[in-house]
Amino acid sequence: MGAIFQSLGRTVTAGVVLLLVMLGLVSALTGGVAVSAQHAWFAFLFRWFHVLSGVMWIGLLWYFNFVQIPSMPKIPDEQKPAVSKVIAPTALFWFRWAAIATMVTGLILAGMNGYLGQALSLQKGVHAIGIGMWLGLIMAGNVWMIIWPNQKKALGIVQVEPAEKAKAARMAMLASRFNTMLSIPMLYCMVAQQNGGL
Ligand code: HEM
């Protein structure tokens, strides 16, 4: 067991194996799981990928806002590079690519559900998910066009003058806070569509 959890790759593989064992058991007990080549099953599969990548994205957004940003002032200056040079760049890598994966799987899902255009034009019956999708798209744009370029300056990945570095750090923080605010109605809309919430 220890050998599995000492490696992230093996841990993730173990999660997938656990899922397959679980599906095998359910199949043996019930005489077959509902896995088929049907459109509905593929839409379900994309929904799963979508939620996995969405959890990675918003989990890291909340990590920045609930943990890292409030902790930085409490960390002695000589220890700060551990966060700014090691932890934050790794977290930002998974954060920005998870945003892309969530957006792509979400748009594919809407296409598979047959309402991409109707949702984006906020039509009746799909306005809940349409609002959620717009909020998600604004958030993804914010990640790539505001947060990431400013973080590159703030973390020293791109070299700039100290004054510009401080300005970029503040801008990245405010944009990240803006996304944290939007994540609350966005997630409400995501789950509202299927569950009569709006
Ligand atoms: C650009 C961003 C996004 C787009 C275009 C998008 C699109 C969609 C679509 C089309 C659905 C299916 C709704 C339905 O008919 O039930 C959905 C559901 C969902 N999305 Fe997103 N989404 C985005 C961002 C996110 C994010 C960041 C999360 C964070 C976890 C998320 C979590 C969910 C959840 C939990 C569901 C509900 C699944 C279910 O009830 O079965 N989405 N999204």
Residue 89: which residues within 8 A CB-CB, separation 6 or more? 155, 157
DSSP structure class, residue 158? S
Whether the CB-CB separation of 54 and 102 falls below 8 Å is answered with yes
Residue ID of nearest Cα to ligand 1 atom 6: 106
Give the torsion sign (CA, 113, 181, 67, 159).
positive
Q: Which residues sit with their C-beta closer than 6 Å to ligand 1? A: 47, 50-51, 54-55, 57-58, 102-103, 106-107, 109-110, 113, 129, 133, 136-137, 140, 187, 190-191, 193-194
* Ligand 1 center–CA 65 separation, angstroms: 21
**CA end-to-end span of the chain:** 44
Could you report the per-residue pLDDT of 123-170, keeping only the tens digit for each?
Answer: 999 999 999 999 999 999 999 999 999 999 999 999 999 999 999 999
Does the pLDDT at position 174 exceed 70?
A: yes
Least Cα distance to 110 among 46, 177, 175, 189 occurs for 46
**26 confidence band (pLDDT: 50, 70, 90):** confident
DSSP label at residue 127: H
59 has pLDDT over 80: yes
**Average pLDDT of the chain to the nearest whole number:** 94
Average pLDDT over residues 68-72: 96
CA of 112 to the centre of ligand 1 (A): 13
Could you give the CA distance from residue 49 to residue 181 in angstroms, rounded to a whole number?
24
| CA of 72 relative to ligand 1 center, distance in Å | 32
3 state DSSP class of 2: helix
Q: In angstroms, what is the span from residue 155 Cα to ligand 1's centroid?
A: 31
* Residue 137 alpha carbon to ligand 1 centre in Å: 11
Q: Which atom of ligand 1 sits closest to the CA of residue 57?
A: 27
Tokens linked to 162? 């100290």
Residue 9 backbone zone (phi > 0: left; psi -120 to 50: alpha; other: beta) = alpha
CA distance 97 to 17: 24
The tokens describing 106, both together, are 């979400």
Closest CA relative to residue 156, chosen from 100, 92, 98? 92
Atom of ligand 1 nearest to the CA of 107: 5
Distance 20 CA to ligand 1 centre (A): 24
Q: For the chain, how long is the longest CA-to-CA vector?
A: 66
Residue 170 alpha carbon to ligand 1 centre in Å: 29
- Flag whether pLDDT at 35 surpasses 90: no
Asked whether the predicted pLDDT for residue 34 surpasses 70, the reply is no
Pocket test of ligand 1: the residue of 56, 129, 190, 194 to mutate, having most ligand atoms within 8 Å of its CB, is 190
CA distance linking residue 171 with residue 151, whole number of Å: 9
CB-based contact 63:91 (threshold 8 Å) = yes
Residue 186: per-residue pLDDT: 97
Cβ–Cβ < 8 Å for 182, 139: yes
Instruction: Return the pLDDT at 36.
Output: 62
Percent of the chain with pLDDT over 90: 86
